[in-house]
Amino acid sequence: MVPLSWYLVLAALLFSIGIYGVLARANAIGILMALELMLNAVILNLVAFWRYRGPTQVSGQMFAIIVFAVAAAEAAVGLALIISIYRRRGTVVAEEVSLLKW
Amino acid sequence: MSAQQIVFLVTAGVTVISAALVVTVRNLIHAGLWLVMTLAAVAAIYVQLEADFLAVVQVILYIGAIAILIIFSVMLTRRVMADTGPQRIPQWPLAAVVALVVFGGLAYLLVQVPWPLAPDVDVSDTVLALGEAFVDPDRFVIPFEVATILLLVALVGSISLALPERESD
């Protein structure tokens, strides 16, 4: 059987790639894509822990399903915000939307 | 090395390579398509973890809804996508350093901890247990209802955000 640590290292790698994308992407939609990678890494961790530490209980999978629902809500609201910003300011570059920056 | 481990390494390799392409390719449409590839590979890993319901949800919800929504948004903001400007900020090496440090810390911590493992059991019938737990008042009916309200609020909120401004405003 595959050791638990392999899944954890894969999830950590996916999460770090997501962090790089969130920090380095100029386009706000690119940032959202990287955010989805990070959420996927977290869900992967939850499922791996469910399988190896509590396969007889459903709580691990339940937690993952709730994270799925939150991810769907996050994607919908985030993309609506980006579309709205694009309509008002004609840009989706995160650097150019800095009105609230001190 | 067993067959299971080889299959895991292949799917993990596909996941990591396509995820790296998601955050590095210039064309955002291509990045969206690589995101679909990454999500499909993660679904394959859920299958290997015997979380069959989650694998199906991953395909339907992530690939079928979220990734398509993202690709639609890229197309709706097309003028910017076709821009020849830089797709990453000038400080990207710093971002790479942060990501490497986070990966090093996480991997070191997660591998080092001796996780107590449960005895291996057969988990073939998770869908029935999940369905029962969702509607059981003593277990997960409240989180389930909260999730539905969250989705409804997100639905109404994203519609009102994305609506064009009215003349009278």
- How far, in whole angstroms, is CA B89 from its chain's centroid? 24
> Does residue A30 lie within any of the structural domains?
yes
Is A26 an 8 Å CB contact of chain B? yes
Neighbours of B48 (CB within 10 A): 17
Q: Which domain holds residue A75?
A: 4-96
**Looking at chain A from residue 42 to 61, which residues have their Cβ under 8 Å from any Cβ of chain B?**
43-44, 47-48, 50-56, 58, 61
pLDDT in tens, A31-57: 999 999 999 999 999 999 888 887 778
CA distance linking residue B69 with residue B155, whole number of Å:
13
- CATH classification of the domain holding B53: 1.20.120.1200
Does B18 share its domain with B65?
yes
- The whole-angstrom separation of Cα A22 and Cα A32 is 7
Q: Indicate the residue of A19, A29, A52 with minimum beta-carbon distance to B118.
A: A52
> Where does chain A have alpha helices with state H?
4-24, 28-53, 59-89
The answer to whether position A102 is within a domain reads no
Residues with Cβ within 8 Å of A18's Cβ and at least 6 positions away in sequence, in order, are: A34, A35, A36, A37, A38, A41, B19, B23
Domain span at residue B46 reads 1-84
What is the Cα–Cα distance from B64 to B60, expressed in whole angstroms?
5
Q: What is the mean pLDDT of residues B34-61?
A: 91
Q: Is B103's pLDDT higher than 80?
A: yes
How far apart, in whole angstroms, are the C-alpha atoms of residue B123 and residue B74?
A: 40
Number of domains in chain A: 1
Give me the pLDDT at residue A18, please.
Answer: 93
Within-domain flag for B52: yes
- B35, pLDDT greater than 90: yes
Strand partners, A13: none
Mean pLDDT across chain A: 87
Radius of gyration of chain B, Cα coordinates, nearest whole angstrom: 21
- Residue A89 in domain: yes
Tell me which residue of B92, B70, B77, B71 sits closest to B24, measured CA to CA. B92
3 state SS of B25:
coil
Identify which has the larger pLDDT, B2 or B169: B2
How far apart CA B141 and CA A77 sit, in angstroms, is 25
B144 and B74 assigned to the same domain = no
Domain annotation covers residue B169: yes
Closest CA to B61 of A22, A75, A61, A78: A75
Would you call A24 and B115 a contact, using CB atoms and an 8 Å cutoff? no
% of residues, chain B, pLDDT over 70? 92
Q: Binning pLDDT at 50, 70 and 90, where does residue B156 land?
A: very high
Q: Cβ–Cβ of B89/A1 closer than 8 Å?
A: no
The ipTM, to two decimals, is: 0.90
Return d(Cα B87, Cα A25) in angstroms, integer: 6
How much is the mean pLDDT over chain B? 85
Quick check: B129 pLDDT over 90? no
C-alpha to C-alpha distances, B163 to A54, A81, A89, B73, nearest whole angstrom: 45, 10, 15, 14
* Subunit contact A40:B39, Cβ cutoff 8 A: yes
Query: Which CATH number characterizes residue A26's domain?
Result: 1.10.287.3510
Per the structure, how many domains does chain B have? 2
Provide the pLDDT confidence category of residue A10 given band limits of 50, 70 and 90: very high
Q: pTM of the full predicted structure?
A: 0.88
Query: pLDDT band at residue B84, thresholds of 50, 70 and 90?
Result: low
Q: What is the distance in angstroms between the Cα of B36 and the nearest Cα belonging to chain A? A: 10
